């Protein structure tokens, strides 16, 4: 699942990942007209697409405009960093009433009790799990908040599955092996931002320095994103995201196939017939080093 960041959660990226049956959550700053135009002109490509929304009054207005256009998104992703706000549960109930047929996503959380609460009280279908693990996230440094991602996914997956819900492991993926571990830990979906950044298909101009090409990638709670969409960084808060120059990776197709290949290979090693079987087939062992880097210079 492609993260709802404005450098990854775009129509252009979706057009590529959709070829592989993968999901995209659009970033929440798309104008209503752009969303409506895409849905009306690309009906065959929208079943794996989700729209994102905040929880302010203007976000409800925007959703009502989308609803008035006759569009019912497959997924609605409530995009807030702090899934423990009381207001979030109330907001999810409003969205559920407006779009009873849509699959509702909310988060972000890192504990099983809140996961279960969002599903049972807010009527959420899927809970996003992860506070601070993303490559462009500084929440753990600036706010001191978070739980190691593997432990959070394990705890929240058990809680969600007990009440018929699902979870997304959101953030912390650095290689195909990490994605395989997320599925083994019980994640139903894995959301990635930096993994899908830095390609020709990503938005933004190409930067060239010392003969190398880069694309920009930044957290949506960064000062850069706040200035871009709100005009300035709010004085009451710290910037919880960094701006990163990602070396150009080529076409996104190459990254997708590398990750799919890694997950398939994991399934063969642990004798899992499918991704669904991975939690039952994999065990975790605490190690100090994972790779032999003796010949790496």
User: Is residue 233 over pLDDT 60?
Assistant: no
User: Is residue 296 over pLDDT 90?
Assistant: no
- Domain ranges for the chain, please list them: 11-198
Q: Which of 46, 89, 92, 139 is catalytic?
A: 139
User: Is residue 107 over pLDDT 60?
Assistant: yes
With cut-offs at 50, 70 and 90, classify the pLDDT of residue 221: low
pTM over 0.85: yes
User: Is residue 293 over pLDDT 60?
Assistant: yes
User: Is residue 176 over pLDDT 70?
Assistant: yes
Q: Which of 8, 115, 137, 184 is catalytic?
A: 137
Per-residue pLDDT tens for 113-143?
Answer: 999 999 999 889 999 999 999 888 888 888 8
Q: Is 139 annotated in the active site?
A: yes
Average pLDDT score over residue span 62-91:
94
Greatest Cα pair distance in the chain: 61
Q: Is 192 annotated in the active site?
A: no
User: Is residue 152 over pLDDT 90?
Assistant: yes
Report whether 101 contacts 108 (CB < 8 A).
no
Three-state SS string over the chain comes to CECCCCCCCCHHHHHHHHHHCCCEECCCCCCHHHHHHHHHHCHHHCCCEEEEECCCHHHHHHHHHHHHCCCCCCEEEECCCCCCCHHHHHHHHHHHHHCCCCEEEEEEECCHHHHHHHHHHCCCCEEEECCCCCCCECHHHHCCCCCCHHHHHHHHHHHHHHCCCEEEEECCCCCHHHHHHHHHCCCCEEEECHHHCCECCCCCCCEEECCEEEEEEECCCCHHHHHHHHCCCCCCCCCCECEEEEECCECHHHHHHHHHHHHHHHHHHHCCCCHHHHHHHCCCCCCCCCCCCCCCC
Q: What percent of the chain is modeled with pLDDT above 90?
A: 75
Average pLDDT score over residue span 258-284:
97
* Average pLDDT for the chain: 92
Instruction: Write down the pLDDT at residue 223.
Output: 63
CATH code for the domain defined by 11-198: 3.20.20.70
Instruction: Write down the pLDDT at residue 240.
Output: 65
């Amino acid at each position: 699942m492609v993260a709802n960041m404005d450098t990854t959660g775009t129509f252009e990226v979706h057009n590529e990942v959709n070829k592989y049956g993968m999901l995209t959550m659009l970033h929440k700053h798309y104008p209503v007209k752009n969303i409506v135009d895409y849905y009306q002109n690309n009906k065959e490509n929208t079943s794996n697409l989700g729209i994102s929304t905040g929880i302010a009054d203007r976000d409800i207005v925007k959703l009502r405009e989308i609803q008035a256009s006759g569009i019912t998104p497959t997924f609605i992703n409530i995009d807030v960093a702090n899934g423990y706000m009381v207001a979030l549960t109330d907001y999810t109930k409003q969205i559920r009433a407006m779009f009873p047929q849509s699959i509702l996503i909310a988060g972000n959380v890192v504990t099983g009790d809140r996961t279960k609460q969002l599903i049972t009280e807010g009527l959420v279908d899927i809970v996003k799990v992860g506070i601070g693990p993303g490559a462009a996230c500084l929440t753990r440094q600036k706010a001191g908040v978070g739980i190691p991602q593997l432990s959070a996914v394990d705890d929240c997956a058990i809680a969600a599955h007990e009440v018929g819900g699902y979870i997304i492991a959101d953030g912390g993926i650095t290689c195909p092996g990490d994605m395989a571990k997320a599925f083994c830990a019980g994640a139903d979906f894995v959301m990635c931002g930096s993994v899908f950044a830095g390609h020709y298909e990503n938005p933004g101009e190409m930067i060239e320095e010392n003969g190398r090409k880069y694309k920009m990638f930044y957290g949506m709670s960064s000062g850069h994103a706040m200035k871009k969409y709100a005009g300035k960084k709010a004085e009451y808060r710290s910037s919880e995201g960094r701006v990163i120059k990602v070396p150009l990776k080529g076409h996104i197709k190459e990254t997708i196939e590398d990750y799919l290949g890694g997950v398939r290979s994991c399934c063969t090693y642990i004798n899992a017939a499918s991704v669904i079987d991975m939690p039952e087939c994999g065990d975790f062992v605490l190690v100090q080093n994972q790779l032999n880097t003796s010949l790496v210079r």
